[in-house]
């Protein structure tokens, strides 16, 4: 039998002493299927060490056709589609395990940056034409979001990382993410 197309959708738990993470709320609001597509939802720990392991397990379990990863960013008006993941972990603030990396390479002898294989420019043009608040970003930072994005692209997944500003209106954020997913699927 033909396997149903599967989207792995990830979000993150709260971090840095906060009680919520907007991406967790978006995850719970999005449907478990889009037409014929199954949406598998996974919440990742904000841990440099554990997050890539949880992601790998989810990829092994679901063999997704598309991986959409959501992360919270501190500020901004727009949802940011990340073009690259960088092969470095660096931070001034601890992750949820108390770990603070200092310019550590993720994988030795691997590319400094990996690029999403998805056509994000087309996606942004379509969505901004429809007045959705999105833009391309060329850096996902060097914290846990970038770490898991590097993992997904290193595993040659059809992956896109999407940063959502912390204070964005939840309904608008959820509608925009749903539109991004539909555009990538249809």
User: CB-wise, 13 or 40, nearer to ligand PCA?
Assistant: 13
Secondary structure of residue 166 in the 3-state scheme: coil
Both tokens assigned to 32 = 């478990």
Cβ 131 to ligand PCA shortest distance, Å: 26
Tell me: does residue 143 bind ligand PCA (CB under 6 A).
yes
Site string for ligand PCA, 52-71 (x = CB under 6 A): -------------------x
Taking the least distance from each CB to ligand PCA, the nearer of 37 and 143 is 143
CB of 139 to ligand PCA, least distance (A): 11
Which one of the listed residues 73, 127, 151, 163 is annotated catalytic? 163
Q: What is the DSSP string of 104-155?
A: EESSTTS-SEEE-SS-HHHHHHHHHHTT--EEEES---SSHHHHHHHHHHHT
Neighbour order of strands in the sheet with 66-73: 33-34, 37-44, 6-12, 66-73, 159-165, 79-82, 134-137
Catalytic site includes residue 163: yes
- Is residue 23 within the footprint of ligand PCA (CB under 6 A)? yes
* Binding status of residue 101 toward ligand PCA by CB under 6 A: no
Q: How many CB atoms neighbour CB 105 within 10 A?
A: 12
Residues annotated as catalytic (active site), given as ranges? 82, 145, 163
């Amino acid at each position: 039998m033909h396997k149903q197309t599967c989207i792995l959708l990830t979000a993150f738990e709260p971090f840095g002493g906060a009680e919520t993470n907007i991406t967790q709320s978006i995850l719970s609001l999005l449907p478990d299927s889009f037409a014929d597509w199954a949406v598998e939802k996974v919440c990742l720990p904000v841990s440099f060490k554990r997050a890539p392991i949880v992601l790998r397990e989810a990829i092994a379990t679901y063999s997704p056709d598309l991986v959409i990863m959501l992360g919270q960013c501190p500020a901004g008006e727009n949802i940011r589609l990340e073009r690259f993941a960088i092969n470095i972990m660096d931070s001034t603030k601890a992750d949820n395990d108390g770990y603070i990396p200092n310019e550590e390479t993720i994988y030795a002898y691997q590319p400094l940056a990996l690029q999403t294989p998805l056509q994000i420019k087309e996606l942004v043009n379509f969505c901004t034409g429809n007045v959705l608040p999105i833009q391309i970003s060329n850096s996902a930072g060097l914290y846990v979001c970038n770490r898991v994005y590097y993992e997904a692209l290193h595993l040659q997944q059809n992956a896109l990382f999407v940063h959502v500003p912390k204070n964005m209106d939840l309904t608008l954020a959820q509608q925009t993410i749903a539109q991004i997913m539909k555009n990538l699927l249809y």
